[in-house]
Amino acid sequence: MIKKSVQVLVVDDDENDFFQVSHLLRRSEFVDYQFTWAKNYQEGLTTIQKDSFDVALFDYRLGASTGLELLQAVQLYRADLPVILLTGYDNPEIDFLASRAGAADYLCKNGLTRAQLERSIRYSLRHASTLAALRHSQKQLELFMHSVPCAVCICDESGVPIFQNQLAKTHFEAGDLVKWMNPDVTRPPLLHLTGDRHWLVSTFPMTDSQGTALQGFAGTDITTQVLSEQALRRTSNLLNGILSNLSVIAGRLDSDGNILEMRGSGLREIGMTEEGMRGVNLVEKCPATAAGFAKAKLGQKANYVWEMENEGRKHYFENYLHLDSSEGQQGAIMFAVNATARIEAEAERNRQARLLDGLMQKLPMLIGQLDREGRVTDVQGERLARYGLSADQLRGKLFSEVFPSANQAIERALRGQEVAFSLRGTTDDDQEWHVDLTIAPAGDGNLALFGRDVSERRWLEQQVLTASDAEQSRIGADLHDGLGQKLTGLACLASALRERLKTGDPKLAEQAALIAKFSNETISEARALARGLCPVELEQMGLVSAIHELAAQAETIHGIQVSLDMKAAAVECDHLTATHLYRITQEAINNAIRHGGAQKIEITLVSKGDTHRLTIKDDGKGFDLEAQRRARSNGLKLMDYRATMIGGSFNVESKPGEGTRITCDFNTEVDAVPSVHALSADVIT
């Protein structure tokens, strides 16, 4: 039989005692005891640190030290080493101290037998094995307690933690634990919030090996569960709000298309109820659902428009179907949104689009949009392409680059004003054309553009004005050549009669002189009227001379001061343009005198290249411009119309008590490149 080997360390300052102990154990029949002797405290401590032993025998008396002190020192290095304390005599006090210090046993060397010593060693080895297993279990338990996804804490009776895993240390404070302590009662789980984490805390009573009451705490992190429940509640509230307040329908269908449940305020709009729809086969009730339901059962997404009629009104629902296998059947989940307003709006937009498309194809007009830089982003209409106004010619380009004179008009529109102006030019076959354009803010800083061909209308208007001016010229000529000549003859006869009557009756001579005076005055007025209707200077000497004569007449007839600044003395313009400018000046002077009570009028005509500005400014009483526009003054409207007829722009500035300033900007050259003539007041400086 093979004996079990046991390594024994004996620490005793008396070598005889060592031999006595070793002698007793060497006679063992079952165990092979191997002995090592250390004769003092330090040697024993060094030996234990260097070698491995199964059991140690310490003499209580070790010179200046004791076996108890060595036991305490050894436990720092080998807490699992079983130690038997030996004394020369039996002492209950030493027995108590040995037990408290952790000695495996306490024996008296006097009268010690092999059986006693061997039994004590066997007991010590078993006890050490048990303690080792216990310590291992405790370490495993502590490792487990530190690893579990729970906050674990054990406190003594005063609430001081004697064990905490990392979660408990991180998320719980001592004050939280103390308020829950009740060592005699197991509390139901408590909800606890620390920062952004939610815990479910359980408390339970415990006792240690000495029977001391302890309090255990275990906290489970339920943050994910709480957040999920909150999200579920929010989703439920949102869904209930949608179903209650919005025109929608939500439901579930079984594998045959029967409605398991259906909710939503949209049911009311089609005259249905939740109870009335339950059990109805939707595929049979609405055949348009069949194809979508079949796709949904195959796991595909399906959507279609569901049309229902209620009380004479059609309702359209946008339906969405998804596979539903939650109950083991291949049914479907349905969600429908009332799309009646959208579908009707789309139908109306399509109708308007067709109408607009027809207009743009058949009528000579265009519409478009400019961005915040004045760049053309969209254009529709091709009937003005021969004038340089089409999608291909404009899209992506700055409008002011294609038509440079439009720059300031676009700037005014970008500042929020609605600007109306005209383009004119000549085509390749020398036909004059006119296009009226309007640019207005369209929101988001963009501009809307609208243009229409007014060439035919302008030609007819020119013919009407030409005929009107021709008729005025005829009347003026008749006044000058007919009535004027007759009045001149009458004045001559009256003068001759006056001379003959001087020798006769003086009273008759005075009457004849009075007749001559009135006749001469009538002749002057007739000639002035004839000049107004048919300004001879305009045709013979040009625009500047005609305006000079008009100013002289105003000074003579009305006794006011009219000053002229004609820096554009050599303006070359056709007779029609000159006539319109003359009439604008004439109307402005008459308005200043008749309505404004002006005493001083300033007329200026300045040029910058082919662009000119005519200005008539007075010191009259002025007027409210907005009120005058609402009243639609014929004089202002006619002047604006005349300016438009020559491709120019007309502007009025006036305030009550501050006089009036009228400007007309115009060009004197028209070529194949279109030009804009509705310029702002600062075109010419």
SS3 per-residue string spanning 413-466: HHCCCCEEEEEEEECCCCCEEEEEEEEEEEECCEEEEEEEECHHHHHHHHHHHH
Quick: pLDDT tens for 628-645: 766 656 778 888 888 887
In this model, does residue 335 exceed pLDDT 70?
yes
Confidence of residue 186 (pLDDT cuts 50, 70, 90): low
pLDDT for position 561: 92
Q: Where are the beta strands (DSSP E) in 325-384?
A: 331-338, 365-370, 376-380
Surface-to-core class of residue 451, CB atoms within 10 Å of its CB (0-12 exposed, 13-18 middle, 19+ buried): buried
CA dist 668 and 409 (Å) reads 19
List the one residue out of 648, 663, 662, 636 whose CA is nearest residue 458.
648
Strand partners, 249: 336
In this model, does residue 531 exceed pLDDT 60?
no
pTM of the model: 0.36
Lowest average pLDDT, out of 431-445, 508-522, 648-662, goes to 508-522
List the one residue out of 666, 650, 659, 532 whose CA is nearest residue 591.
659
* C-beta neighbour count of 229 within 10 angstroms: 12
CA dist 639 and 581 (Å) reads 9
Q: Where are the domains of the chain?
A: 4-139, 148-221, 228-344, 363-453, 456-534, 542-685
Lowest average pLDDT, out of 98-107, 306-315, 418-427, 524-533, goes to 524-533
178's enclosing H/E stretch is helix 174-178
In this model, does residue 3 exceed pLDDT 80?
no
CATH topology of domain 4-139: Rossmann fold (3.40.50)
List the one residue out of 387, 391, 447 whose CA is nearest residue 423.
387
Specify the 3-state DSSP secondary structure of 34. Answer: strand
pLDDT for position 618: 94
- Above pLDDT 70, what percent of the chain? 80
Task: Name the H helices within 27-113.
Answer: 41-50, 67-74, 92-101
DSSP code at position 156: -
Q: Which tops the pLDDT comparison, 478 or 268?
A: 268
Q: What is the mean pLDDT of residues 642-669?
A: 87
Query: Concatenated DSSP letters for 341-356?
Result: HHHHHHHHHHHHHHHH
The mean predicted confidence, pLDDT, of the chain is 79
667's enclosing H/E stretch is strand 660-667
Quick: pLDDT tens for 97-150: 777 777 888 888 888 888 888 888 888 888 878 777 767 766 766 666 666 778
List the one residue out of 647, 644, 649 whose CA is nearest residue 678.
649
Confidence of residue 479 (pLDDT cuts 50, 70, 90): low
Q: What is the mean pLDDT of residues 33-62?
A: 88
Q: What is the mean pLDDT of residues 580-589?
A: 89
Quick: pLDDT tens for 434-471: 888 889 898 788 898 888 888 777 776 666 566 556 55
Which residue type is seen at 52?
S
pLDDT for position 639: 86
pLDDT for position 78: 78
In this model, does residue 259 exceed pLDDT 70?
yes
- Out of 177-186, 243-252, 663-672, give the one with best mean pLDDT: 243-252
Confidence of residue 1 (pLDDT cuts 50, 70, 90): low
- Above pLDDT 90, what percent of the chain? 6
Domain 542-685 listed as CATH 3.80.10.10:
no
The CATH classification number of 363-453 equals: 3.30.450.20
How many residues appear in the chain? Answer: 685
On the question of a common fold for 228-344 and 363-453, the answer reads: yes
Contact 156, 212 (CB under 8 A): yes
CA dist 611 and 370 (Å) reads 26
pLDDT for position 600: 93
Q: Which tops the pLDDT comparison, 186 or 291?
A: 291
pLDDT for position 368: 85
CATH superfamily of 148-221: PAS domain (3.30.450.20)
Contact 4, 28 (CB under 8 A): no
In this model, does residue 565 exceed pLDDT 70?
yes
CATH topology of domain 228-344: Beta-Lactamase (3.30.450)
CA dist 24 and 116 (Å) reads 10
pLDDT for position 472: 62
Query: Concatenated DSSP letters for 462-507?
Result: HHHHHHHHHHHHHHHHHIIIIIHHHHHHHHHHHHHHHHHHTSS-HH
